[in-house]
Amino acid sequence: MTNNPLQKYFRKPSIYIKLPTGGKFNPEISTSQLDEIGVLPMTAIDEITLKNPDALLNGEALISLVASCCPDIPNPRGMCNIDVEALFLAIQYATYGSELTHTHTCKSCEEQSDFNIDINVILNRFPDIEKVEPVEFDGLKIHLQPPTVEAITRLALIDLEQQRIVRSIQDTYGDEVMKEDELARRFYSSFRTIAEHNVELLANTINYIETPDGDVTDYDTISEFLENIPTKVVNEINEKIQFLSKKPEDATTFEFSCPECETKDKVVLEVNPVNFFGTGS
C-alpha cells in the first residue's frame, strides 16, 4: 500500500502529548519520541471496535485503539495503565476536538443543562509519576513501577467474575437455610481468589528489591517474599500502587452550577471507553 497516491491524505498526528510516567517504565519507546507522543484521530474501524462490548471488557478494544492511533508506541499491551488512560483522552481530543459535553441533571430542580469540559484540564490534572519513591522495609528498598494496562484489565475481569460468583451463591441459597459455615466457606474461597490475584498484581508492580547483598528481580522470589511479610508492608505497597494505577478521582471531578436555581453539585465523571463520559457511581 506504500505506493498509494492518496497516502499523503492519510491521517496524521493532530496532537502530541507527554505521558504521565514520561515513558520511564517502557524502554521500548524511542527516547526521541518520549517528550511528544503523536496521536492520530480514530478511523471508522476504531470507532466500531469501541462499540464492541466484549472487546471493551477484556481490554482488547483499548489496546487496539492505542495501536492504531499512537504509532510511536511499539507495544501498547505493556504500557502503564495510567499512560493509556491519558492516551485515551488524547485520542478523543484528536478525533472530536478538545471539548467534551456533559449533560448534567440538577439534583434539586431536575433541570438538564449541557456543560463543556476541556480535555486539557483533565490531562493537566494527571499526576507526574516519572519517579517513584521506593517503599522501605527492614533495610530493604522496594522499587515499584506502575501496573500495566494488561494487569489492571485482568484484575478487573477477575473482580467481575468473583462478584458474579458471590451473587449466584446469594441467589441460589438466599431463601434456603444454609449452614452458616458453608456460606462462609464459599465466600471465603471467592475472596481468597481476589486476594491471591492481588498478590500477583503486586508482584508484577515490583520492579526490583534493593538488598544489602544486591538487587532481587526474579518474579517468583518476589512473590514468595510478598506472601511472607507483615500485612502492614503489603498495605503500604498497595496504597502506593493505587496511586500509580489510575488517574486520580480529582482529575475528573467538576462542580456544576445549575443555571435555573443555582444549586451547586460536585460530580465525578467517569471517563473510560465503556462509558465514555458518564457519571461515576
Query: Which H or E element spans position 211?
Result: strand 206-211
196 binds Zn ion (CB under 5 A): no
Query: What is the rounded CA–CA span in Å between residue 35 and residue 124?
Result: 15
User: Going by DSSP bridges, is the β-strand pair 278-279/264-270 parallel, antiparallel, or unpaired?
Assistant: antiparallel
d(CA 168, CA 162): 10
Q: How far is the CB of 176 from Zn ion (least distance, A)?
A: 48
Q: How far is the CB of 106 from Zn ion (least distance, A)?
A: 3
Looking at the Cβ atoms of 211 and 279, the one nearer to Zn ion is 279
Q: Which of 45, 261, 275, 279 binds Zn ion (CB under 5 A)?
A: 261
* Residues in binding contact with Zn ion, number by CB under 5 A: 8
263 binds Zn ion (CB under 5 A): yes
C-alpha cell at 91: 485520542
Q: Is the dihedral of CA 34, 39, 40, 42 positive or negative?
A: positive
Residue 109 binding Zn ion, by CB under 5 A: yes
Q: Which is nearer to Zn ion, 235 or 257 (CB)?
A: 257
DSSP code for 42: P
Q: Which listed range, 66-74, 221-229, 259-267, 270-278, lies at the site for Zn ion (CB under 5 A)? A: 259-267
What's the min distance (Å) between Cβ of 261 and Zn ion? 3
Cα(166)–Cα(193) distance, rounded to whole angstroms? 12
| CA pair distance 281, 270, nearest whole angstrom | 8
Rule CB under 5 A: say whether 45 interacts with Zn ion.
no
Site for Zn ion (CB under 5 A): which residue of 106, 202, 222, 271? 106
Alpha-carbon span 206 to 237, nearest angstrom: 9
Q: Which is nearer to Zn ion, 108 or 275 (CB)?
A: 108
Residues that bind Zn ion (CB under 5 A): 106, 108-109, 111, 258, 260-261, 263
